[in-house]
Chain A
Amino acid sequence: MNFEMITPRTTGELLQALANNQGSRVRIGAGYTDLILELKGLKCEETPLVINLADLTDPKFTHIEKTDAGIRLGALVTAGKVIIDASIQTELPVLCKAASELGSRQLRHRATLGGNLCTASPAGDIAAALVALEARCEILSADGTLRTLALTDFLVGVRKTALRQDEVLQSVFIPTRKSINKHLLSDFLKVGTRRSMEIAVVSLAYQFELDAEEIIRHAGIAIGSVAPTVKFVSAAGEFLVGKKFSSIGAVAADKFAAMVCAEATPISDIRASAWYRREVLYNISRGIFDK
């Protein structure tokens, strides 16, 4: 493994680094839990250049910020930080659960949210939760402009994002939904071949908002490892809206599970067959309503 490195300390230095260095040899490094393995396997003629974000102190990149409008999480926030943040625990519990399922404690201390999104793995745990939460990506470009893009548009394919060469992911923003008396029902379900340290064979992230009468007012649902990207399943979510959670019976649960599966296009690989992935997705989707 060999590479060169630039370590910007301020956003100004970062923008300059992005402006002066473009092309296929440039990589951005955050927590390195994916990047080191990628750089080790790389066989390229040009020496890679890593723009190392480890010393960046700009709170836009490093902090979790809560305002009336919503919650903003910097791209450099680690899974470990997400888990212990009080506002995430109460308002975005699906994200908290997903972050706690990522890798191991050691990895969670390093793995960043931005790295999880930019790696664009269909099995990304944090990605699945953020898709369910309809997060928006805030992308900074070398000329200093910021653009926002829905996360579902940011994730364009297996290991492919909508980031251009002179861009970096700064943060994600999750707008607060204005509703009265809501309470949340959420989970992140990850099925693998063992319990710990497992990349998902199928994952399902959901966060429902219920009103005082237990009527589902909003349902954000995402599925992982069953399509080239993590997918938001809107039709199945809309199907639930207006229904009372506790009165969803077997028929509606079956219909819901079938609607979730309709959005899946799983493949067979060494970890599981397409058939198995579909069966598991059906069962865990249906299982949300098991009492």
Chain B
Amino acid sequence: MKKTIKFSINGTKVQQEVLPAYLLIDVIRDGLGLRGTKPGCLEGECGACTVLIDGLAVNSCLYLAVNADGKEVTTIEGLISGPDFSLDPVQQAMVDFGAVQCGFCTSGMVMSIKGFYDECVSAQIQPNREQIKKGLEGNLCRCTGYKKIIDAVESLFEEA
């Protein structure tokens, strides 16, 4: 039996008809047409599908859409702001440090960094390089070797 769920996606309220077994990743990509969230392993291993739910990074491939009811979901599309499509500081850092190659992991990586950064800021934690690596252990990248990604994250905390 389908159920109507209401949630906010990138600040806009939406409504979707979902079966209990629908996964959030499918509702985001197919229901709402937001294809920035990537399906990789679909088993919680790679992090390509990472989105924020009420500010916390989660794997949208292991999240039931019904449980998004009433929540605030943020996807990579939601990080762009303003009429001139300004990048979020996380996205800008990834560009500045050349931390993107094929790009498949990038949206999930950026969402993971965004969630990690915001959590650290609100807990007033200045993470070291090891802690940054640990914060991103749920995101696999086959191209970059991670160094530039971690450099990019470090730069965010240096500016802060």
Binding site for B on A (CB under 8 A): 1-5, 7, 29, 32-33, 36-37, 39, 50, 52, 54-55, 80, 84, 100, 103-107, 109-110, 196-197
Contacts and interface: CB of A to CB of B under 8 A. Distances in A.
B20 A3 contact: yes
Interface string B81-94: 00000000000000
Interface of B: 1, 19-21, 23, 43-45, 47, 50, 56-59, 62-64, 66-67, 112, 115-116, 123, 134-139
A29 B64 CA distance: 10
Contacts of A106: 44, 47, 50, 57-59, 112, 138
A109 B58 CA distance: 7
Contact of A37 (B43, B57, B63, B66): B43
B21 A196 contact: no
Contact of A109 (B1, B20, B57, B134): B57
Contacts of A197: 45, 137-138
Given A104-B47, A106-B112, A110-B62, A50 B20 contact: yes
Given A37-B44, A104-B138, 11 more contacts: A2-B21, A29-B64, A32-B64, A54-B64, A54-B67, A80-B56, A105-B137, A106-B58, A107-B62, A109-B58, A110-B62
A202 B56 CA distance: 30
21 contacts: A1-B21, A5-B66, A36-B23, A37-B44, A55-B67, A80-B56, A100-B134, A104-B44, A104-B139, A105-B116, A105-B135, A106-B44, A106-B47, A106-B57, A106-B59, A106-B138, A107-B44, A110-B58, A110-B63, A196-B137, A197-B45
Contacts of B57: 105-106, 109
Nearest to B123: A84
A52 B23 contact: no
A37 B59 CA distance: 13
A78 to B, nearest CB: 9
Contacts of B136: 105
Contact of B44 (A39, A50, A103): A103
